[in-house]
Amino acid sequence: MSNPIGSFLKGVRVLDLSQYIPGPLGSLMLVDMGADVIKIEPPSGDPMRDLGPRDQAGEALFHRTLNAGKQILRLDLKTPEGAADLLDLVGHADVLIEGFRPGAMQRLGFDHARLSAVNPRLIYCSISGYGATGKQVLKAGHDANYLAEAGVLDRNGDMRPVYFDPPIADLTGSLFAALAIVGALHGRHRTGQGCHIDLGLADVIMPLQMLQIADHGENATVPQRGQTYLNGGAAYYNVYETRDHRHLVVGAVEPKFWQTFSKAAGRPEWISRQGEDLPQTNLINDVAARIAEMTLAENLECFADGDCCVSAVLDLNEALNDGTEQLSARIAHRDLVRLGSDGLLQSLFPARVNDTAPALRPAMRDYLPPTP
pLDDT the model gives residue 359: 94
* Structural domains of the chain, ranges and CATH numbers in brackets: 4-208+360-366 (3.40.50.10540), 237-313 (3.30.1540.10)
Round to whole Å and give the CA distance between 29 and 20: 15
Q: Residue 348 above 60 pLDDT?
A: yes
Indicate whether 323 pLDDT > 80. Answer: no
The active-site residue, picked from 16, 94, 143, 170, is 170
- Mutual angle of helices 168-191 and 22-32, in 10-degree steps: 50
Distance, CA of 205 to CA of 280 (rounded, Å): 28
- Would you say residue 17 has pLDDT above 70? yes
Q: 211-252, pLDDT tens digit by residue?
A: 999 999 999 999 999 999 999 999 999 999 999 999 999 999
Tell me the C-alpha to C-alpha distance, in Å, between residue 56 and each of 59, 193, 332, 363: 7, 46, 24, 15
Question: Per-residue confidence at 310, pLDDT binned at 50, 70, 90?
Answer: very high
Q: Does residue 1 surpass a pLDDT of 70?
A: no
- 43 DSSP assignment: T
- Find all residues with CB under 8 Å of 17, minimum gap 6, and list them: 23, 40, 96, 97, 98, 99, 100
Lowest mean pLDDT among 65-74, 137-146, 321-330: 321-330
Choosing from 142, 158, 244, 333, the catalytic residue is 142
CA-wise closest residue to 24 among 58, 48, 59, 51: 48
Distances (CA, A) of 141 to 37, 138, 163, 200: 27, 9, 14, 11
83 vs 46: CA distance, rounded Å? 18
For residue 332, the model assigns a pLDDT of 85
Q: Decide if 142 is catalytic.
A: yes
